[in-house]
Amino acid sequence: MNEAQAVSALGALAHAQRLRVFRSLVVAGPEGLTPSVLADQLDVARNALSFHLKELAHAGLVTIEQQGRNLIYRADFSQMNGLLGYLTEHCCQGSTCEVSDSSSACTSC
Amino acid sequence: MNEAQAVSALGALAHAQRLRVFRSLVVAGPEGLTPSVLADQLDVARNALSFHLKELAHAGLVTIEQQGRNLIYRADFSQMNGLLGYLTEHCCQGSTCEVSDSSSACTSC
DNA sequence: CCATTGATTCAATAATTGATGTATTATTGA
DNA sequence: TCAATAATACATCAATTATTGAATCAATGG
């Protein structure tokens, strides 16, 4: 994960509808979802959804697989983890983070 | 962390200069940095930097403390961890994630 | 082959965001 | 109070991004 990839991924997620789409795909897990299901689930117009899915795919956050006449979209967890790692690496100069909860997100501390 | 906060935070980070600023603050840790130091370090015009810091502050990603005539900016790690948690919660419907590395970002799997 | 359904692409408009220069506020020290 | 410095606020123009509707492409089944 480099800076350009991170900016691209963050930009793709910095939109309410796309964030909902992505989170739906994250929740769906390895099974993935089709655009039809997503459109029904999130109440988004299909062409708008198509546009947003393309944005997410372009940022590398989702993968596409064709099955017959349906497409299966899946969240790309390795890319996601790369992004999370990019955001937190080298943090706090080796000292402990001031985190209040038990989240392990700040792994390099 | 709700959706609006997440979108705001992601939008704030989805910009190369702001991402650099934020990562510098993350690396600086609890000590924080002043706008002057950041401007020198990143070679950004001071008024542009001020604008970007305001964006980050508005998204809740950085905190501001005044010390005499200087301001100290710090990354807000609790907000950051909230964002990371928001992105990954409920993922994969309880099944294991398809992560290739040893990152622990996907904590709810 | 043709009708139907799933999905995408295109083009025009509307809206948001970014960069830049200037002006303003606030603090320090004499 | 005055000068100098740190930092922000504002206004403007340029550029990017989002939305919408219509048209197009592709696959399935009769």
* CA–CA separation, A108 and B6 (whole Å): 23
B34-74, pLDDT tens digit by residue? Answer: 998 898 888 888 888 989 998 999 899 999 888 888 889 99
- Residues on chain A bordering chain B, Cβ-to-Cβ distance under 8 angstroms: 3-4, 6-7, 10-11, 13-16, 19-20, 23, 26-31, 75, 77-78, 80-82, 84-85, 87-88, 90-93, 95, 97-101, 103-107
What are chain A's domains? 3-88 (1.10.10.10)
* CA–CA separation, A28 and A74 (whole Å): 8
**In the numeric block, which tokens belong to residue B6?**
């997440």
Helix (H) or strand (E) holding B51: helix B46-58
Q: How many CA atoms within 13 Å lie on the side-chain side of A68?
A: 2
Q: Give the mean pLDDT of B10-38.
A: 89
At residue A97, the pLDDT reads 47
> How far separated are the first and last CA of chain B, in Å rounded?
20
At residue A73, the pLDDT reads 93
Given a contact cutoff of 8 angstroms between Cβ atoms, the answer to whether B18 and A84 are in contact is no
At residue A11, the pLDDT reads 92
Residue in A with minimal Cα distance to B16: A7
B68-108, pLDDT tens digit by residue? Answer: 888 899 999 888 888 888 887 755 444 444 444 444 444 43
Q: Which residues of A38-59 are buried (b: 16+ CB within 10 A; e: fewer)?
A: bbeeeebeeeebeebbebbeeb
At residue A103, the pLDDT reads 41
Task: Residue B103: list chain A partners with CB under 8 A.
Answer: 81-82, 84-85, 107
Look at residue B34 and give its three-state secondary structure. Answer: coil
* CA–CA separation, A33 and A46 (whole Å): 14
- Amino acid in the structure at residue B11: G
Start-end of H helices in A1-109:
3-13, 16-28, 35-42, 46-58, 77-88
The pLDDT profile of chain A, 109 residues, written as one tens digit per residue, is 888 889 999 999 999 899 999 999 988 888 889 999 999 889 889 899 999 999 999 899 999 998 888 899 999 988 888 898 888 775 544 444 444 443 444 443 3
User: A47 CA, D22 C1': separation in Å?
Assistant: 11
